[in-house]
Amino acid sequence: MLLLAILRYCVLATSLPFFPLVNAQTFSQAAGWREPLVTLPYGDRLSLAENTLGVVVRQIDYEDTSSLQSPSSSSLLYTMAEYDRRSNSSVFQANVTSALGGLASSLNFNFTSMHVSFTSDRLRLGLAYFSAHLAYSDSPQGGDFLKAALAVWDASAAFFVTQSSAAAGALSGIPDFNSTCVPLAGGAPVSIAGALSWDGTASINGETIGPWISLSSLLYTSSHNSTYLELATMSIQFTKTFLSNGTMVFDTYTFHTCTPSSPHETYTYNGGYFLQGLSAYYNANASAATAQDLAYLNELAASLILYTGWTNASTGINKEDAITSSTTDISTRSFSANWKAILVDGLYGCLSAGLLNDTVANLTRQYISVQYNAVRELANFTASGISQQVYGPSWIGTPTPLQDLNQAGQLAAAELFTTALGVGPASAANTTDPPHPSTTNHPSSQMSQHRTPIGAIVGGVVGGVAALAAALSGIFYWRHQKRDDAVVSLEEGPQRTEPYFVTTDQYPILERSVVFTRQEGGPGVLTKRDHTLPSTQSAESSASVESPTPNPQDSNRGDDGTVRVDASTLQRLLLSIGGALSDLQHRGNRQGEEEFTELPPGYEEGSNVGR
């Protein structure tokens, strides 16, 4: 039977796009990066994450439900729950339960009445509720946390553009908009269905659509209601069409005027949130991960890592909003600190889900390790009244040591340290994973650390099909000769939304110099807000509209644009034997690769949720 299957794969091989098989296991751009290996034992990493998180935890009033509605508070509560879930502990359970339970009760689980002006803020809170549901599933509040996450989704879905809303060019609560827009790649206009208004206007951004995809996918794992997955699918397609060119996720798209943000409006969290959403989506719906989808994801992940607009080419450290002068106004750098951690979390989610090929996975481990070691060793300082080391927002360090606790920098470090628990040496005692997010009948069950991820569906027969891989590479080679690879930079047009191949030299190496605060009622949407800890939003979302209610009877979804299942399975076979999906990969020997000994808990099948 295996021989017949192999022959069948050979016949189907010619229907696949060409992805060259190479021996490369490294990117030349990563050569010389600073400390690309985490050597800290698991127990020490656990203590570091807990202690770093504990400093921020002590700054919060968990009875003040108004301040708990701020985006930074949502990120903190999410990270606290994630730490407990991934470490199989209850260190922060009392605080998380008090805060999230009290907030849900104060709102009577009606999250349309939250004092927020941005859909993204509400979605981050929903992800915190879902993480708490997983972390404390055995507690009396576990069911309430899931109920709250569902209610947050319902409130957010009021701003979702369905197919019918797109056709009408209208959605209650936001101004009228265009039914179709021309994709970033050019061509005929297509529907803008899948968009999600972030602020009550006809515009969307990365910090909104990524968490929306994540929360929708995660709720599908608990309910198996196809509506959640269908809407996530639409939003992924919208992002690929209007917010991404295959190597970058841009900041904002206004579908009222069909206007994208400037190509230079690039921030780490846009790509990070989208990677979080993709990993959650493919964990919830593994059969949807076609060869083309995986190629796109690998290309995007590698491009985001190597983008020199925020990654220092020599050290590999993320330099976004770095403090490079003793006269720098730290307040203008602080609130973007956790944007870097969001990118790391998105990359880690794809890594732990097995969605990355060997070369990009190795690059990702190196990148996470570089950030981990840099924050520990370069961003640390001492503050009055705190006995332990604290951390600043600039991961490359500062010209002069900071003096006062920087809560944004501390939270970003805590997020990074919690994410990186799965990178580095594993503890012998740490042999189990937390509850699996898609397991609702047995929430307390422990999953094996050595389950096969998506990228190794047929890993058990890898050794026996090595010869097949060599034969297929020959088939792919002659197909490659007929292919004219388009090398497109961000400045060139028209651009393709399909995966394509560029080098880091072609990216626009531009950094924004000013970050503005959006004034309530003010014009424009291409602005960023200072995420203080804690803070209270000054305006209440006033939209009261119909939302796309999940339909339990609707379980059939089309997979438009996907390749045949057998071809997809073959691509995963090639992934499991080290096949490379990208022309970005450079030939060379594997160097600096660490053993990913501890299966990253939770994210393996859809639990990587956004911050």
Neighbouring C-beta atoms of residue 607, cutoff 10 Å: 32
Question: Looking at residue 464, what is its pLDDT?
Answer: 39
In a shared domain, residues 277 and 298: no
Sequence-ordered list of residues with C-beta below 8 angstroms from that of 94, at least 6 positions apart, any chain: none
Better-scored residue on pLDDT, 597 or 154? 154
For the ranges 101-115, 131-145, 419-433, 566-580, the lowest mean pLDDT is seen at 566-580
Q: Are 268 and 342 in contact (CB under 8 A)?
A: yes
The DSSP string of 461-491 is GTGGGHHHHHHHHHHHHHHHHT-------TT
In a domain, 201, yes or no: yes
Distance in angstroms (rounded) separating the CA atoms of residues 380 and 397: 8
221: in domain: yes
Determine contact, residues 179/250, Cβ cutoff 8 Å: no
Can you say whether the dihedral through the CA atoms of 548, 550, 554, 559 is positive or negative? positive
* pLDDT value of residue 116: 83
Q: Stretch 463-467: mean pLDDT, rounded?
A: 40
Kindly state the tokens that stand for 184: 């970033």
Instruction: Examine the pLDDT at 36 and tell me if it is beyond 80.
Output: yes
- On whether residue 404 sits in a domain, the answer given is yes
164 plus 120 within the same structural domain: no
The predicted model gives 413-423 an average pLDDT of 97
pLDDT band, residue 270 (cuts 50/70/90) = very high
Among residues 158, 191, 213, the one where a domain terminates is: 158
Per-residue pLDDT tens over the stretch 47-57: 999 999 999 99
Average pLDDT, integer, range 162-178? 95
| pLDDT score for 481 | 38
Q: What is the DSSP letter of 29?
A: G
For the chain, give the mean pLDDT. Answer: 75
Taking the C-alpha atoms of residue 540 and residue 592, their distance in angstroms, rounded to an integer, is 50
Within a domain: 373: yes
- Residues 6 or more apart in contact with residue 113 via CB below 8 angstroms: 107, 540
Cα–Cα dist 159/197, whole Å: 5
* pLDDT of the residue at 550: 60
Last residue within a domain, chosen from 134, 158, 182: 158
Q: Please state the rounded mean pLDDT for residues 566-589.
A: 40
pLDDT over 60 at 339, yes or no: yes
Judge whether 178 lies within some domain: yes
Mean pLDDT for the stretch of residues 247-270: 92
pLDDT of 546 reads: 41
Cα gap 158→365, rounded to integer Å: 38
φ/ψ (deg, to 5) at 610: -80, 165
Q: Is the pLDDT of residue 327 over 70?
A: yes
Q: Which token pair is 26?
A: 């490294």
| Residue 400 pLDDT | 86
In a domain, 589, yes or no: no
Q: Which of 109-123, 143-157, 206-220, 441-455 has the lowest mean pLDDT?
A: 441-455
Kindly write down the DSSP assignment for every residue of 210-226, as one continuous string.
HHHHHHHHHHHHHH--H
What would the pLDDT profile of 218-239 be if each residue is shown by its tens digit? 999 999 999 999 999 999 999 9
Tokens of 412: 């970003």
- Of 138-152, 314-328, 403-417, 461-475, the poorest mean pLDDT is in 461-475
* 3-class secondary-structure state, position 196: strand
Q: 319 in a domain, yes or no?
A: yes
Q: Percent of the chain at pLDDT above 90?
A: 57
**Residue 331, amino acid:** S
Task: Give the angle subtended at the CA of 604 by the CAs of 602 and 610, to the nearest 5°.
Answer: 60
Which tokens is 233 given? 């699918």
309 & 387 share domain = yes
Q: How confident is the model at residue 64 (pLDDT cuts 50, 70, 90)?
A: confident
The rounded distance, in Å, linking the Cα atoms of 298 and 310 is: 19
pLDDT of residue 278: 98
Q: Which residues 6+ apart lie within 8 Å of 141 measured at CB?
A: 97, 100, 101, 132
Residue 582 backbone phi and psi in degrees, to 5: -140, 140
- What's the mean pLDDT in 343-351? 98
d(CA 431, CA 439): 19
β pairing state of 190-191 and 203-205: unpaired
In the block, tokens 């394509």 appear at 500
296 in the same domain as 284: no
Q: How many domains, the chain?
A: 3
The domain boundary residue, chosen from 427, 443, 466: 427
Task: Provide mean pLDDT across the span 115-127.
Answer: 92
241 lies in the same domain as 191 = yes
pLDDT of residue 534 exceeding 60:
no
Distance CA 17, CA 573 (A): 15
- pLDDT interval class at 440 (50, 70, 90): very low
- For the record, the structure tokens of 17 come out as 């796009």
- pLDDT for the residue numbered 113: 84
State the virtual CA torsion across 315, 321, 323, 324 in degrees, nearest 10.
Answer: 60
Q: Does residue 559 have a pLDDT over 70?
A: no
Average pLDDT over residues 133-155: 96
Band of pLDDT at residue 84, cut at 50, 70 and 90: very high
Q: Are 557 and 230 in contact (CB under 8 A)?
A: yes
* Structure-token pair, residue 263: 């190509």
Query: Residue 611 has what pLDDT?
Result: 53
Residue 529 has what pLDDT? 41
**194 and 315 assigned to the same domain:** no
Residue-level pLDDT at 23: 34
Beta-strand runs (E) in 149-306: 180-181, 190-191, 203-205, 252-254, 259-260
Q: Percentage of the chain with pLDDT > 70? A: 66
pLDDT class of 332 with cuts at 50, 70, 90: confident
Q: How big is the chain by its Cα radius of gyration, in Å? A: 23
Residue 117 has pLDDT above 60, yes or no: yes
Query: Which pLDDT belongs to residue 463?
Result: 39
Mean pLDDT computed over 256-280: 93
Minimal CA–CA distance to 529: which of 80, 112, 121, 155? 121
Q: Which pTM does this prediction carry?
A: 0.71
Contacts of 47 (CB under 8 A, 6+ apart): none
Query: Given a cut of 50, is residue 43 above it in pLDDT?
Result: yes
More confident residue, 463 or 97: 97
On whether both 96 and 176 belong to a single domain, the answer is: no
391's enclosing H/E stretch is: strand 390-391
The confidence band for 447, taking pLDDT boundaries of 50, 70 and 90, is: very low
* Nearest alpha carbon to residue 603 among 429, 451, 489: 451
Within this chain, do residues 138 and 261 fall inside the same structural domain, yes or no? no
Q: Is the pLDDT of residue 600 over 60?
A: no
Q: Determine the average pLDDT of the residues in 573-584.
A: 39
Q: Are residues 246 and 303 in the same domain?
A: no
Beta-ladder partners of 357? none
More confident residue, 592 or 587: 592
Query: For tokens 């003040």, what's the residue?
Result: 64
For the ranges 201-215, 244-258, 349-363, 448-462, the lowest mean pLDDT is seen at 448-462
Kindly tell me if the per-residue pLDDT of 145 is higher than 70: yes
- Which one has a higher pLDDT value, 474 or 28? 28
369 within domain boundaries: yes
Averaged pLDDT for residues 189-201: 96
188/275 same-domain check: yes
Alpha-carbon distance of 4 to 11, in angstroms, equals 11
**Residue with the two structure tokens 């009877």:** 553
CA dist., res. 267 & res. 248, Å (int): 9
Count of C-beta atoms within a 10 Å radius of residue 336: 21
Q: Reply yes or no on whether the pLDDT at 497 is more than 80.
A: no
Q: Which of 427, 426, 261, 422 is nearest to 350 (CA)?
A: 422
**Residue carrying structure tokens 């996975």:** 361
Query: Residues 182, 258: one domain?
Result: yes
Given phi > 0 = left and psi -120 to 50 = alpha, else beta, which region is 259? beta
Please give the structure tokens belonging to residue 531: 């995420």
Residue 382 domain boundaries: 25-40+291-427
**Pair 336, 419 in one domain:** yes
- CA–CA gap between residue 584 and residue 346 (Å, rounded): 20
